[in-house]
Amino acid sequence: MEQALATKAEYLSPSIMTPMDMLDKAIQQNADIAVLEKLMGLQERWQANQARKAFDEAMASAKAEIPNISKNRTVDFTSQKGRTNYRYEDLGEVAKTVSPILAKYGLSYRFRTASPVNEPVTVTCIVSHREGHFEENTLCAGRDDSGNKNSIQAIGSTLTYLQRMTLKAALGLAATIDDDGANADGKPEVITIDQVGELVEMIESKGADKARFLKYYKVEKLADLPAAKFDSAVKLLMAKGG
């Protein structure tokens, strides 16, 4: 009995062998099927844990190298609601900036989309590592029927927007805000013009009620939104189904 326990401890000790080594040794020693099944489960969990660690390390390294993304597009139009003017980075600019760096660390991304009839458009960004671990980020919004878009263009516009937003969210590329939260005169720091533009774009794509949004945050216009509340505002709009 003592010899059997010693033999079992020999191939179950993780400080000496990997789970695969233990499994190989168990097979060589004609271990019973119950022991083999437990070792196979241990091997699967060990591989998953190693893959997750590799993913986290790769993401940390990649994010340390991803620079600020250039805002290469300008929106400038006037409607009954007034003038809208801001700059933003399109999906192509985001991809051009991040893809080489992600590839350097064995990371890649892809999108899964859905557009059922009479339901919001849904996009899931899947970021994967070559070791096998992956993580997903999902957003949905109504079809972008602004302007003179036909039904296909409306879906395409929303898909492009959600691809850009889910990729940025998955990589942690959301706009930053000042830590001090106040100007020198003691007034709360407000969001930047780029952040105003981002909220405008989200409000329009989600079909949100701008007046209710402003009332919720107790401001007269988006430019008055305190910088400290920008993240919560983005999350609130993201949670809206469209």
Q: What is the pLDDT of residue 1?
A: 42
Bridge pairing between strands 73-79 and 82-88? antiparallel
Region 141-145: mean pLDDT is 82
Q: What is the pLDDT of residue 100?
A: 96
pLDDT band at 57 (very low <50, low <70, confident <90, very high): very high
Region 153-158: mean pLDDT is 87
Q: What is the pLDDT of residue 231?
A: 83
Q: What is the pLDDT of residue 68?
A: 84
Percent of the chain with pLDDT over 90: 28
Q: What is the pLDDT of residue 203?
A: 86
Region 146-159: mean pLDDT is 83
User: Are 110 and 202 contained in the same domain?
Assistant: yes
User: Are 60 and 165 contained in the same domain?
Assistant: no
Q: What is the pLDDT of residue 70?
A: 82
Range of the domain at 177: 73-238
Between 89 and 109, where is the model more confident?
Answer: 109
Q: What is the pLDDT of residue 105?
A: 97
CA distances from 201 to 101, 161, 228 (A): 27, 9, 20
User: Average pLDDT of the chain?
Assistant: 80
Amino acid at 108: S
pLDDT band at 79 (very low <50, low <70, confident <90, very high): low
Given a cut of 70, whether residue 82 has pLDDT beyond it is no
User: Are 133 and 99 contained in the same domain?
Assistant: yes
User: Are 101 and 195 contained in the same domain?
Assistant: yes
Q: Which of 65, 85, 106 is the last residue of a domain?
A: 65
Percent of the chain with pLDDT over 70: 80
Q: Which of 22, 49, 65 is the last residue of a domain?
A: 65
User: Are 58 and 141 contained in the same domain?
Assistant: no
pLDDT band at 110 (very low <50, low <70, confident <90, very high): very high
Number of domains in the chain: 2
User: Are 128 and 166 contained in the same domain?
Assistant: yes
Secondary structure (H, E, C), the chain: CHHHHHHHHHHHCCCCCCHHHHHHHHHHCCCCHHHHHHHHHHHHHHHHHHHHHHHHHHHHHHHHHCCCCCCCEEEEEEECCEEEEEEECCHHHHHHHHHHHHHHCCEEEEEEEECCCCCCEEEEEEEEECCCCEEEEEEEECCCCCCCCCHHHHHHHHHHHHHHHHHHHHHCCCCCCCCCCECCCCCECECCHHHHHHHHHHHHHHCCCHHHHHHHCCCCCHHHCEHHHHHHHHHHHHCCCC
Q: Are 160 and 153 in contact (CB under 8 A)?
A: no
User: Are 43 and 137 contained in the same domain?
Assistant: no
Rg (CA), the chain: 25
User: Are 61 and 82 contained in the same domain?
Assistant: no
From edge to edge, which strands make up the β-sheet containing 107-114?
107-114, 121-129, 134-141
Question: How many C-beta atoms lie closer than 10 Å to residue 92's C-beta?
Answer: 12
User: Are 26 and 93 contained in the same domain?
Assistant: no
Q: What is the pLDDT of residue 2?
A: 42
CA–CA distance, 220 with 157 (Å, rounded to integer): 29
User: Are 154 and 34 contained in the same domain?
Assistant: no
User: Are 61 and 86 contained in the same domain?
Assistant: no
Q: Name which of 168, 162, 88, 181 is nearest 127 in CA terms.
A: 168
CA–CA distance, 184 with 15 (Å, rounded to integer): 57
Q: What is the token pair recorded at 65?
A: 């190298």
pLDDT band at 32 (very low <50, low <70, confident <90, very high): confident
Q: Are 101 and 66 in contact (CB under 8 A)?
A: yes
Between 119 and 23, where is the model more confident?
Answer: 119
Region 171-178: mean pLDDT is 58
Residue with tokens 């233990």: 22
